[in-house]
């Protein structure tokens, strides 16, 4: 693919979802269409590439279906457990503990199902509108970080493991010492946002996913990851040429653009042939930046849609929280570097 074609497709990929709401709401199919276009403009389809694009999304798509079905079958029991806990545990402590638990297992149940559980929990904790927004944003930061630890967790981790040739636990070994402090900090912040007594407001949204909706969601995830595999393959040589010229520090802060884009998109473009320490820094920046705005990560999109959170309200909490976390991560990286 020549540089002019690559630039044109990249502009469509990065700014199409920001410019047109219908594209943002159907970003998975849009990404697949652009992946097909980029491949046609590039080296074209090969049997190996088709096989990879069809094989890579299978595990995470199946995980979405299984986890969503299990959540649907156990949701009422979860509701009963929380109703009992509300009588014994203060709301800040229960909020922080619940979000930490959800985020810690989101790499197994997937970020999508983690976000659905978060929405259910937020409804059971009875927040006013402002507190609901703040707790949801902090919770999605935690889930976005926690889901990165296995290839099943989210598209970003699926593509990162593929690009870095890591096994199932490779991302855990690479990221866990850095991710869990961020998950814990985000959970504590969510607990601080939840200060106050229960029953300040009526219960919020509850999750009611039909079987058809679960399979549609899994199909969208399949299309999204397949599209990113195609994009990754088409842009691999160009990304290697330009990203390799950027210092680690410049790449870390440049990745803050993933606040406005799905962070999996940038992973698909960036991490080819990176050393693991450099890839870790880039991925951490993408994970944190992805929580700053609604389009940045799948948990944000799921939660904001279910709870009807507007972009401006999300940014008011997400941007300062994300910048503080990025600053802390950057300082620790430099200190240990």
The whole-number pLDDT of residue 298 equals 85
Three state DSSP letters for the chain: CCHHHHHHHHHHHHHHHHHCHHHHHCHHHHHHHHHHHHHHHCCCCCHHHHHHHHHCCHHHHHHHHHHHHHHHHHHHHHHHHHHHHCCCCCHHHHHHHHHHHHHHHHHHHCHHHHHHHHHHHHHHHCCCHHHHHHHHHHHHHHHHHHHHHCCCCCHHHHHHHHHCCCCCCHHHHHHHHHHHHHHHHHHHHHHHHCCCCCCCCCCCCCCCCCHHHHHHHHHHHHHHHHHHHHHHHHHHHHHHHHHCCCCHHHHHHHHHHHHCCCHHHHHHHHCCCCCHHHHHHHHHHHHHHCCCCHHHCHHHHHHHHHHCCCHHHHHHHHHHHHHHHHHHHHHHHHHHC
Q: Where are the domains of the chain?
A: 3-336
Neighbours of 66 (CB within 10 A): 16
Separation CA 268–CA 282 (nearest Å): 12
Separation CA 266–CA 258 (nearest Å): 7
Between helix 276-289 and helix 170-193 the angle, nearest 10°, is: 30
Q: Tens of pLDDT along the chain (337 residues)?
A: 777 888 888 788 777 876 787 887 787 888 899 889 989 988 789 998 899 889 888 888 898 899 888 888 887 888 888 888 888 899 999 999 999 999 999 999 999 899 989 988 888 888 888 899 999 999 999 999 999 999 999 989 998 998 898 989 999 999 999 999 999 999 999 999 998 877 655 545 566 668 888 898 889 889 888 888 888 788 777 777 778 788 999 999 988 877 766 777 778 778 877 899 999 999 999 999 999 988 788 888 888 878 888 888 899 999 999 999 999 999 999 999 7
Residues in the chain, overall count: 337
pTM for this model (two decimals): 0.82
Q: What is the largest CA-CA distance in the chain?
A: 63
Question: Which has the closest alpha carbon to 89: 198, 186, 192?
Answer: 198
Sign of CA dihedral 303, 204, 130, 84: negative
């Amino acid at each position: 693919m020549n540089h002019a074609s690559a630039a044109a497709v990249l502009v469509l990929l990065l700014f199409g979802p920001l410019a047109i709401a219908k594209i943002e709401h159907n970003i998975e199919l849009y990404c697949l269409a652009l992946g097909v276009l980029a491949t046609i403009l590039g080296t074209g389809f090969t049997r190996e590439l088709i096989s990879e694009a069809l094989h890579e999304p299978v595990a995470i798509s199946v995980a979405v279906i299984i986890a969503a079905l299990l959540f649907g079958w156990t949701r009422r029991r979860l509701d009963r457990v929380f109703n009992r806990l509300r009588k014994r545990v203060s709301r800040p402590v229960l909020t922080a503990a619940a979000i930490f638990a959800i985020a810690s297992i989101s790499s197994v149940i997937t970020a999508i199902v983690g976000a659905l559980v978060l929405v259910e929990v937020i409804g059971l904790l009875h927040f006013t509108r402002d507190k609901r927004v703040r707790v949801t944003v902090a919770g999605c930061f935690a889930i976005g970080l926690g889901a990165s630890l296995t290839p099943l967790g989210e598209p970003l981790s699926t593509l990162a493991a593929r690009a870095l040739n890591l096994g199932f636990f490779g991302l855990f070994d690479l990221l866990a010492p850095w991710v869990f402090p961020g998950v814990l900090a985000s959970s504590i912040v969510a607990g601080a946002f939840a200060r106050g007594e229960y029953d300040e407001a009526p219960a919020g949204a509850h999750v009611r996913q039909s079987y058809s909706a679960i399979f549609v969601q899994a199909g969208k995830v399949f299309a999204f990851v397949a599209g990113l595999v195609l994009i990754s393959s088409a842009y691999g040589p160009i990304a290697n040429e330009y990203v390799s010229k950027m210092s680690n520090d410049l790449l870390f802060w440049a990745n803050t653009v993933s606040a406005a884009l799905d962070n999996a998109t940038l992973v698909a473009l960036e991490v080819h042939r990176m050393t693991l320490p450099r890839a870790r820094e880039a991925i951490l920046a993408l994970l944190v930046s992805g929580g700053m705005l609604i389009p940045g990560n799948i948990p944000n999109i799921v939660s904001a849609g279910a709870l009807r959170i507007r972009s401006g309200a999300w940014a008011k909490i997400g941007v300062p929280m994300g910048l503080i976390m990025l600053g802390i991560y950057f300082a620790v990286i430099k200190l240990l570097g």
